[in-house]
Amino acid sequence: MKRRFLTQPHAVNKYVPIDIPESLKGYADELRLLNGVPFPYLFSDLADISEESIRFFNLDVNWTDALLDGAFSIGRVCAQDHVSDQYMLKAARKGRNYQDTPRLKRMHSNHKDSLLQSMQKAGTLENATEDYTLVSGFVLRSQLVSRMKGLRVYGYDKNGAPKDDMDDGTPLTILRMDTIGDNLLLCLFHGQVYEIRIAEPKTGLRFGASSVDLCTKGTETRLSRRIDLRSALDSSELGQRVESFCIDEYTADNGKVSAKRLADAMEARLKSCGKLGTDKLTPSRFAFEMIAAAHRVSFCAAKEVEDGR
């Protein structure tokens, strides 16, 4: 029941709003973050989002208010019902704690504790409330969404954007991040997002090519794989980039590497550059050369989105 009916002696009957249960607040939160909204209501045509593209947007609070108004319209019989519902929905979103939002409720306890600790360290946890009056985000359509699990996404407004590659900036709070279709990622932030950074997960070591590009030779088009050859000298030069080294000759079409041939070629090249420092390329040094760092890329919103249009 959304309200209770009271009868007072010698008075007219009145509808009095009751305390809003948490389950009802949670349902309203889900709708405000577009959970359960059919895909065609969000995008009239998937072709509007071209492949390998990203689209920034602002969430229209009037649209989400109308969505909730429709969802809670069941059972209304008079104008007073509508007034009571408006009061209830306004109260339901007022001062919601970030820890009560749908994303935090579904998050694994380990990830949740880590996130809350980072927010507390940044001094943003105490004031982490959400009223859904300013929500922005992006939609990413890319093969990266399905191929790379555990992507890390960071959103920033203009004041909190990183100043350089070594600066972490002040990230906006993520309200929702879900895969809503094939190769389609939806992310919503608290506040006006200006810049986002998408990074590969940093858990564990990766070995392989640091860059993969399409290369055309004559009429044949194939993948071209390259690694960053690093100095193996036992000095301060250890790890410094020497050059980009193509490994296509030692790699099959399916990506399988002939380790022995590749190691011999890398050894010869490092020796010719004077960057090996030993007689042989040992297994540990070979692994060192094949380490691929986690990649990160940044995108900035267009001026129309920054202005809220």
Asked if residue 228 lies in contact with residue 245, where contact means CB atoms within 8 angstroms, the answer is yes
For residues 213 and 250, give the distance between their C-alpha atoms in angstroms, rounded to a whole number. 16
- 277 pLDDT above the threshold of 80: no
**pLDDT value of residue 121:** 66
Q: 20 in helix, strand or coil?
A: coil
Asked if residue 39 lies in contact with residue 180, where contact means CB atoms within 8 angstroms, the answer is yes
Q: 63 in helix, strand or coil?
A: helix
**Dihedrals phi, psi of 164, to nearest 5 degrees:** -155, -175
Q: What is the mean pLDDT of residues 196-211?
A: 70
- 189 pLDDT above the threshold of 70: yes
For residues 182 and 295, give the distance between their C-alpha atoms in angstroms, rounded to a whole number. 22
Residue 295 carries which DSSP code? P
What's the mean per-residue pLDDT of the chain? 76
Which residues pair with residue 180 across a beta bridge? none
pLDDT tens by residue, 214-268: 666 566 666 677 777 888 777 777 778 888 888 888 877 666 778 888 888 888 8
**pLDDT value of residue 119:** 65
**pLDDT value of residue 139:** 92
Could you tell me which residue, 141 or 117, shows the higher pLDDT?
Answer: 141
Which CA distances in Å does 80 have to 15, 16, 87?
A: 8, 10, 11
User: For 231, what's the count of Cα atoms within 13 Å in the CB-facing half-sphere?
Assistant: 13
Asked if residue 156 lies in contact with residue 162, where contact means CB atoms within 8 angstroms, the answer is yes
Q: Indicate the length of the chain as a whole number.
A: 309
**Dihedrals phi, psi of 145, to nearest 5 degrees:** -65, -40
pLDDT tens by residue, 83-129: 777 777 776 666 666 666 777 767 767 666 777 777 666 666 556 66
**pLDDT value of residue 160:** 85
Q: How many other C-beta atoms are found inside a 10 Å radius of the C-beta of residue 281?
A: 22
